[in-house]
Structure 1
Amino acid sequence: MRALLNKEFIVNRKTQLLSLLIYLIISFLLNEGGLSLWMAPVFTIKRLDIHERSDEKNESWQLINSLPVSRTQVLQSKFLFNFITSCVYILIPALINYLVPSFETTSLSTILLYLSLCAVLITVYHLLYLLFGPKVVGVVFILLFGFIIGAGPAILESSLAQNILTSLSSRSATSIQLLVSAILLAISAGVFSITLSRFKKMDL
């Protein structure tokens, strides 16, 4: 497992550092009283896409087959590498918000919420990548983000959404964030199990 993680970090370190630099620059340009974490999921998906497309798949699988590692360890290492990178995208802006007096401090429940969202995106991406390949996955996530941006306001203003928001209004923001985080983590665990089952049956 450690060897697989080291391989991921060594091979992708330049891309990761460049992505982190661009991410921080954009975060500073868009800050309003503090660095927002909403760009972290977007960069998580884009970095996943670049990472998978830059990987020489056949050579990678040949290397994996030659190592004394299980397919479970391979998938776990991919998830851990991508999740650790997403943690960096989230924790560095949160730390900057904490250290800069004029910035609003990011709450722990907000950090957990974004970490859970990134975990779901990573597991869903890996599952779709195994099932359909990189081209279809790229189109799916472009359509997804387009749908969120285009239809998001209309959905929030719908009667169903308003009823849900009204029922949740008695709860604190922290409790709602923790509830959503728990749901996202459960979804992530379920999708990871499905992905692992599919990965074990694939011909590499």
Structure 2
Amino acid sequence: MKTTHFNLTAQVPAVPSGTISPPTQSFTVRSLDAYAISNAFVQVNGINNLVDGINSQIAGDTLTCNDFKLQQPDNVVLQIYYHGIRDYSALFPTVKSTEPARAIRMGAFYQEAENCFEQGAWISFMLMSAAIFEHLLYYKLGSPNNPTALSALNTRALNQGAITQNAHNIIKTTNNARNVIHCNRMADPDITRAQAMDAKTVIDELMRAF
């Protein structure tokens, strides 16, 4: 069983101090419908509430809370326990909404990258990571008439403020590391576990941000 969480904020109309919010609130949770959820909890200001299908429900990418007496701006955390990913393309909801074919391709890359990561197959993982980075940056920058090589996309993304310097450096390392497969790159160092971990972290960061 795996777990992940989503940070949410109660968004309700301003009401006088001490007045509770309306009894029902719905949250659209990015990529929630990607997961095969076993059970879940809604944490409101540090107090856990089981998603029981009565006081709270999950349907697709929507979490509905009933009678939680939420006030603005309460901190709400959705913690899910899941068997795995049921739809990898749904991990890229923004892409899926406009380019479903690209989201399916990116989902396939992510699934293969995940399998490689869990097996410690770092070379294969970095190859897939570079592919994911390339599609993410290409989609984010939205300019197909410009150079589409990952190195060029990475530089443009940094210059336009779409990614941080740290993300830029890790994407550059990932791009360089995947070239270790070429016959004329025998002098290149082997890919390390730390490099793979860094790439995985940045992929997940960009997926949430984009």
Q: TM-score, normalised by structure 2?
A: 0.29
Question: What TM-score, normalized to structure 1?
Answer: 0.29
Of Structure 1 and Structure 2, the greater strand share is in 2
Please identify which structure carries the higher helix content.
1
